[in-house]
Amino acid sequence: MPFIECHIAAGLTPARREQLMRDIIQVTHDAIGSDPKIINVILHEHPRENMSISSRINGEEFKAQKTG
């Protein structure tokens, strides 16, 4: 029974969230053959300012702080 969690930035419309879940179910079914009835998907939405992607914070590259 596949259980898929996705962490995404908040802001998708309800229709787009629904389509995203349908797409994830379809891709999972196509990839491993699971019956769609047993595929579980949970979307976790986070405010963009609470996310760092590829070490970028608010779109800016990470700058290491000098120690010592």
Residue 16 lies in a domain: yes
Q: Report the mean per-residue pLDDT for the chain.
A: 93
Check which CATH number belongs to the domain holding 18 and give it. Answer: 3.30.429.10
Residue 7 lies in a domain: yes
Residue 27 lies in a domain: yes
Confidence band for 60, pLDDT divided at 50, 70 and 90: confident
Give me the domain span that covers residue 35: 3-43
Residue 21 lies in a domain: yes
Residue 57 lies in a domain: no
pLDDT at 62: 82
Backbone angles phi, psi at 38, to 5 degrees: -110, 10
Distance CA 31, CA 42 (A): 19
Residue 52 lies in a domain: no
Mean pLDDT of 28-44: 98
Distance CA 68, CA 34 (A): 54
Residue 68 lies in a domain: no
Backbone angles phi, psi at 19, to 5 degrees: -65, -40
Residue 37 lies in a domain: yes
pLDDT for residue 48 is more than 80: yes
Whether pTM exceeds 0.85? no
